[in-house]
Chain A
Amino acid sequence: MATLGIDGTGQRLLRRLNPGPGGWQVGLATVATVGVALGLSALLIAVTGGSPTASTKALYQGSMATPAAWSTSLLYVAPLLLVAVGACVSARSGFFNIGQEGQVLIGALAGAWVGLRLAVPGPLLLVLVLLASVVGAGVWAGLSALMYRFRGVNVVVSTMLMTFLAQQLISFAVNTPWLLQESRLGRGTLSPQSNPVPENARLASLGEYPNLQLNGGLVLAVVVAVVLALVMARTRWGFRLKMVGLNPAAARHAGVRVGALGGIALAISGALAGLAGALLLTSPVGTNRLQPGMSLNIGWDGLLVALVARNNPLLAIPVAVLFGVLRAGGSFLAATGVPSFLVDVVKALLVLAFVAPPVVIGMLRRRRLADQPATPTTPTTPTAAVASPEPGDPSVPATPTASVPNPRGTAPEPPDPGDAGTAGTKDAMEGRLA
């Protein structure tokens, strides 16, 4: 991946990290809020009779102290990163997908089905398993897009509801002998799980550098993250995606097929979550069996990773490492008398610490500049811009209104017909015609 050198890529990367006006304020505020989040976590430990320093040490030892600990951490990083990159894509398009938890399971289901039913020799089976998971979960998420396209069903709601359907579908599959439930060995009772996928459908470990095991999944995930970051930043498709997310009405006026593009983004995000599910199935994270609990909340956590990374796939890489580290370290916490649930608290607080500052600072800037009388038909900053708060991101020339944090700071000219966002809703139309 690109380094932070002084070459063109590095400069672009730096510019991406610095969201223009107010950027340094956001950075400083983020440092402060992260401090508050960690402080609150330490306070929680102290209040409940634990020792914050001992907990920190345990977290460190469980996740980073030894190559073996790093290996464990990195095993979680790959699926987290895949889910997060998918979430970045869908959030950029404004089609906010929160059903990753279910899509992970569907991916694992499709992968397990292929892995257990097809007798294909060699690593071809692994490829087929991964492909099946991508297609399965992509179609599953695509259903939400279709429901939106043809019946106007809210994407957030449908992806959320389908998570619970997915959970029951998996449960059904592993409780039904003619589907995927394990075959009987001897006379033991059958557990609700599938048989383990065959050896040639498992992701190999890429050598062992003294004790550090790097799983192939990690390489795959990082490659996917970098490729999608490039696609979103450098291609016409990525530009359209951003347009749709920041201002669907403007994008429609500019000739972008909003529904199709959003649907594809949704399917991609589902497919990547499905790939994460396949990694959970084929890498040594779990038992290589399809189980109802095998998603390990990776879907929800990956979504949080994307939020912390502010929907930037490259930033998602270090954030996913952080979350993987927390996950691996969490299992070492119990020895210090602090429940491993602490990690969940820390993660949630971290998300707030990263999400809040840009929005708050954007709001304060707006307030400071809000001297002019309000104009009810001033263009919009739609939902997605709130989810991906980059006030004044310089790389959004096509949607000038969205790149200016204060719509009222611009001169309130009468909007021309092709202007961004004014035709967004019927209300806006009425307001403009009045």
Chain B
Amino acid sequence: MSAADNIATILSSGARLTVPLAFAACGEYVAQRAGTLNISVEAMMLGAAFGSIAVASATGSATIGLVAGALVGVAVAFVHGILSHRVQINTFVVGLVLNALVLGLTSYLITVSTFTGHQVWQVDIPVLRDIPIIGPMLFVQRWPVYLLLAVVPLTWWLVERSRWGLELRAVGENPQAADVSGIEVNKRRRQALLWCGLLAGLGGAYLAVGEVGSFNQNMTAGRGYLVIAAVIFGAWRLGRTLIGCVVFGLADAMRLALPALGVTMNSQLLIAAPYLLALLAMLVFATAHREPRALAQPFQRGTT
């Protein structure tokens, strides 16, 4: 294989590893802008991955499975929203419990049931795929990948240009001020979580019915935490968050590809890189106050 082929392979697999992260990161970005440091994104992705395969297996349609997976993500988000923004249990506690619950539940259910594999169809654009290096990466992918082309601008528009997004950001920056302006703080936060659940669900479902075609125990394997790292690395800006996802995806692809290419590189460092980068980003940019000011602070009317 030529060097160009190698690069094309790494890029293409990097793109595939980036996609689930990018979907979920768009969601997590919205949740965090609204002030919820949502760690149950892992549960959303894992539950969605399981749900998509279960439904795809039952209906025989991977597309219906994908939709069902997204809905599972929404369901997890709904529970999280109720528990942390209505009942006011600490959001990290809720996240931890949901992660543990979904991991246990999916592991249990996959052990007692058998599902047939399903995979959504692949887009393969005849001429464009022959473009060297970037051709396979851009033009030979499972179709949900191209949903990103709609999801990313939509998320940006929702947060930056719509009234809903303005209120959302207000809720994330200064809930007290938002509250006296007549915005229902916890309702907006719940809504942001639902959007997060939908997209994290899409990401998780893509992982199962798009990338792998089946479900195995703990198949997200910490990707949810990677998504949180991406949002932090991206300093709560959508574009940089997505760049973070691409960097993390490429690091993962290189870890998988380098041994086959005969290059020895420290795989532990590559796995740890995203978390290290996120920590460094927080340390370096800490004084820039880029994070939503009310991030991870619960809101109760009448309290500061």
Where the two chains meet, the residues of A that have a C-beta atom closer than 8 Å to any C-beta of B are: 44, 48-50, 96, 98, 147, 151-154, 156-158, 160-162, 164-165, 168-169, 171-172, 175, 300, 303-304, 307, 338-339, 341-345, 347-349, 351-352, 355-356, 359-360, 363, 374-381, 383, 386-387, 407-408, 421-422, 424-425, 427-428, 431
Contact = CB atoms under 8 A, between A and B. Distances in A.
Residue from A168, A349, A427 whose CB has the most chain B CB atoms within 10 Å:
A168
Interface in B268-303: 268-269, 271-272, 275-276, 278-279, 282-283, 286-287, 291, 295-298, 300-303
Contact of B176 (A98, A169, A352, A427): A427
Given A427-B174, A427-B176, A427-B304, A153 B283 contact: yes
B304 A164 contact: no
Interface string B242-266: 0000000000000000000000001
Contact of B228 (A157, A168, A344, A375): A157
Q: Is the interface of B mostly helix, strand, loop or mixed?
A: helix
Given A98-B92, A153-B286, A355-B89, A162 B303 contact: no
Contacts of B286: 151-153
A379 B283 CA distance: 31
Contact of A359 (B87, B98, B266, B278): B87
Contacts of B97: 304, 307, 348, 351-352, 355
Residue from A300, A348, A421, A428 whose CB has the most chain B CB atoms within 10 Å:
A348
Contacts of B90: 96, 383, 386-387
Nearest to B79: A352
Interface string B63-101: 000000000000000000001000111101100111011
B283 A151 contact: yes
Given A156-B296, A158-B279, A341-B108, A407 B303 contact: yes
Contacts of A356: 83, 87, 89
B304 A428 contact: yes
A390 B217 CA distance: 37
Contact of A48 (B93, B109, B174): B109
Contact of B89 (A341, A342, A349, A359): A359
Given A48-B112, A356-B89, 7 more contacts: A339-B108, A342-B108, A348-B100, A374-B301, A379-B304, A383-B296, A427-B304
Nearest to A425: B304
Interface size class of B (residues with CB under 8 A): 35 or more
A156 B92 contact: yes
A351 B301 CA distance: 27
A161 B303 contact: no
Contact of B304 (A147, A349, A424): A424
B272 A164 contact: yes
Interface in B155-213: 174, 176-177, 179-180
Closest 10 CB pairs of A and B: A344-B104, A348-B101, A151-B286, A168-B272, A339-B111, A341-B107, A341-B108, A172-B268, A345-B104, A428-B304
